[in-house]
Amino acid sequence: MTFPVLIPIGGWRVHPHVFFEVLAYAVAAGVFLWIRRRRGDALSGADRLSLVTAIFVGALVGSRLLAWFDSPGAQTRGIVGLMDGKTLVGGLVGGWIATEVEKRRMGVRRPTGDLYVFPVIAGIAIGRIGCLLSGRPDGTYGTATTLPWGIDFGDGIARHPTALYESLFVIALGVLLVPVWRHGTIGHTFKWFTASYLAFRLLVDTIKPGVALFLGLTAIQWACVFGLLYYAQWYVRLSPSRVALRRPRKPDTTTAA
């Protein structure tokens, strides 16, 4: 296989990163609208638009900024280096922080993250296929491996297909989160997803050829550590006896015999 694997569309041959990134955004938007229509939305149209805008801006800034810290030499290129890369962990954390800031400004206390979990999962699962097919220039390949599913991305070395690992992980995580989304406490789906994804990235990035920032961990891994430490307090407090906000159930329309 020759990388990048270009996608034929009519008479065009489109780069896989571009093709799958556009597809990921389109599918994620469709999943978001479907879930919103199915589950409803506690926020007004204006408030939801304000929140989505904050998420988009926060994700954009977070993804670029963390990639800037994670890429050796990017800091010396100034704004060019800042715009060159992006990372999903930075986007997730940046969007999460921006959401909390905007909710405080609007005076919204109700958890709102569950609505975005499955759109994000769909986007990651599809987008990472584009990363895989883009080869080494994409920078998401793994270290050398002797495992039978190792892939040669063009340098003669069989490597971990870490982008594929990520796609498979988020799909499996999505399946496990369906019962939580349907019957669990509001807000827990987002918490479980975010903590699980950060834990996965902390582990899988150990088999990526990154540059350590401190104590053997890359900037991306440190972002995962800080995110997990934040959620640790929630796990400690989590108790079945705790009074929680539950999703509204459909009223029982049956009548007694």
Residue bearing tokens 């940046």: 94
Which two structure tokens, joined as six digits, stand for 240?
């079945």
Angle at 143 between CA 137 and CA 144, to 5 degrees: 110
Query: How much is the pLDDT for 104?
Result: 93
pTM over 0.85: yes
For residue range 13-66, what is the model confidence (pLDDT) as tens digits?
999 999 999 999 999 999 999 998 888 777 777 888 899 999 999 999 999 889
Three-state DSSP class for residue 112: coil
Query: How much is the pLDDT for 88?
Result: 93
For the beta carbon of residue 164, count every other beta carbon within 10 angstroms.
18
* More reliable by pLDDT, 243 or 38: 38
Question: By the 8 A CB rule, do 162 and 141 touch?
Answer: yes
CA distance 151 to 159: 5
**134 has pLDDT over 70:** yes
For residue 191, give every residue at least 6 positions away whose Cβ sits within 8 Å of its Cβ, in sequence order, or none: 113, 231, 234
Nearest CA among 26, 14, 203, 3 for reference residue 127: 26
For residue range 61-111, what is the model confidence (pLDDT) as tens digits?
999 889 888 876 655 555 544 455 689 999 999 999 999 999 999 998 888
**241 has pLDDT over 70:** no
Query: How much is the pLDDT for 144?
Result: 96
Lowest-confidence pick of 73-87, 149-163, 217-231: 73-87
Lowest-confidence pick of 38-47, 127-136, 144-153: 38-47
Q: How confident is the model at residue 192 (pLDDT cuts 50, 70, 90)?
A: very high
**243 has pLDDT over 80:** no
Of all residues in the chain, the percent with pLDDT exceeding 90 is 64
* More reliable by pLDDT, 245 or 118: 118
**213 has pLDDT over 70:** yes
Give the start-to-end residue ranges of the domains of the chain: 16-237
**247 has pLDDT over 80:** no
CA distance 95 to 104: 14
